[in-house]
Amino acid sequence: MKVTLAGNDTQLMNFRDFFKSSLETLKKEHLYRTFVPLERHAKEAPYAKRHKPDGTTQDVIVWCSNDYLGMSHHPNVIEAAKNALNTLGAGSGGTRNISGTAKIHEDLEKTVATLHGKEAGLIFSSGYSANKSTLSTLAQHIPDLVVLSDEKNHASIIQGIRHGRCEKVVFKHNDMVDLENHLKSLPYQKPKLIVFVSVYSMDGDFAKIEQVVHLAKKYNAMTFLDEVHAVGIYGEKGEGLAGMLNLSKDIDIIQANFAKAYGVVGGYIAADQVIIDFVRSHASGFIFTTSIPPATAAACIQSVEILKNDRTPAEKLLNNVAYLKERLRHTSVSMVESESHIIPLWVGDAKLCRKVSDHLLDTYGHYAQPINFPTVPVGQERLRITITPHHTHAMIDDFVDALQKTWDQILLKKAA
Ligand code: PLP
């Protein structure tokens, strides 16, 4: 396609060539994304069928799913979705404002509010949307707001703040001295919002929630905490890390999703009624989009309720994680010690990271997706291992063995 100015022969840009050459650059830099098409069968997790480029299939074990507790396959979650699908239909019928509010949406909002001990909840199509919509709304509407954001915050948080176009300060990751220095430098009366994440998704480390809360009180700041990777797993009822530390009441806005440990999809915030009402009234990403299907809402409620009352899946997951970490400590695989269920295996090079991942998949049938830029900075490439209660010790032993052989063959040989 050639684009020319009307009445002028000058060629401005060949869009097709632009896209092609930009993709070529990505490929050269080993940043081009390829997906592995899988069928994750409900009764066979963590096994899945991989559809290979040559048309054949391969049985693989998945080591990188965010369905941390296997709830997407829980029979009661599936049953709840099926019932709602049969009775309420496939779609919600509209945006929340225009015929798209079902009672089940409001039930789900009450469920998350109760989970976090907050007055109200608000659901969004995804965790990404919950972060982006809420933060951009607050940033646009609160006069003179300054947002203080941890440097390792998720892309959805960064986009939300950017879109809000308010004053922004990025503090060093989990660095309370840096955060306090920034807070100190701002007038006490100036509106401030500290935004952070309870379990950081790529390093698996925990936020210093107690210290952040302390600083927020000292310097008159509001707090926004992303609990996406914590809900379902941590806390007496799966209410996340703030809840586990008995600090939910001290966080102004708790954000999380239903797509990780709850195994479904959708995002939410939980907060005081007045905050929820404000976001509900102003957030474009809430107002101008069709609400989630009733079957999805039903599955979410069921999953939250199951994990509220039965902590066995979370306990089993954390036992498995401890077992895998302990096994890895006795190998030369470059595991990064983490506090949570997320286990990074350091590679530090995009090409090698893909090679390691491909080798594990093609040779041993172990699927662990390479994590490259822009998910992590260039030079910090890694595998990000996440397991489930359904991985057995025998599977873990086999995986550790395959990892050691892969490290020997690809990474350690290169370093020698
Ligand atoms: N927040 C964090 C910390 C995340 O890691 C993610 C996604 O991985 C999100 C938000 C977005 O959640 P969702 O996948 O529901 O859009």
User: Tens of pLDDT along 344-363?
Assistant: 999 999 999 999 999 999 99
List of the chain residues with pLDDT < 50: 1-7
Q: Which two tokens stand for residue 176?
A: 């309370």
Strand pairing category for 267-271 and 120-124:
antiparallel
Q: Active-site residue among 2, 260, 355, 413?
A: 260
pLDDT of residue 1: 42
Cα–Cα distances (Å) from 190 to 5, 93, 147, 167, 216, in that order, read 49, 42, 11, 11, 13
Are the C-beta atoms of 228 and 201 separated by less than 8 Å?
Answer: yes
Q: Which two tokens stand for residue 73?
A: 């396959």
Query: In angstroms, what is the span from residue 226 Cα to ligand 1's centroid?
Result: 9
Residues sharing a CB contact under 8 Å with residue 365, sequence separation 6 or more, in sequence order: 58, 59, 60, 61
What's the CA gap between 47 and 52, in Å, rounded?
A: 15
Neighbours of 254 (CB within 10 A): 29
Residue of minimum CA distance from atom 15 in ligand 1: 127
237 is known as an active-site residue: no
Residues sharing a CB contact under 8 Å with residue 346, sequence separation 6 or more, in sequence order: 334, 335, 336, 382
**Ligand 1 atom with minimal separation from the 259 CA:** 15
Asked if the peptide bond before residue 374 counts as cis, ω within 30 degrees of 0, the response is yes
Q: For 289, which DSSP code?
A: S
Query: In angstroms, what is the span from residue 312 Cα to ligand 1's centroid?
Result: 24
pLDDT of residue 42: 86
Sign of CA dihedral 195, 200, 203, 209: positive
pLDDT of residue 412: 78
What's the CA gap between 245 and 210, in Å, rounded?
A: 8
Q: Which two tokens stand for residue 225?
A: 């905490």
**Residue to probe by mutation, ligand 1, list 134, 149, 151, 201, most atoms within 8 Å of CB:** 201
Are the C-beta atoms of 58 and 52 separated by less than 8 Å?
Answer: yes
**Residue to probe by mutation, ligand 1, list 131, 228, 386, most atoms within 8 Å of CB:** 228
pLDDT of residue 3: 46
Residue 74 C-alpha from the chain's centroid: 21
pLDDT of residue 180: 98
Residues with CB under 6 A from ligand 1: 126-128, 131, 154, 156, 197, 201, 226, 228-229, 257, 259, 267
What's the CA gap between 24 and 20, in Å, rounded?
A: 6
Residues sharing a CB contact under 8 Å with residue 127, sequence separation 6 or more, in sequence order: 156, 226, 228, 255, 256, 257, 259, 266, 267
Place of tokens 């790529």: 202
Are the C-beta atoms of 360 and 406 separated by less than 8 Å?
Answer: yes
pLDDT of residue 12: 74
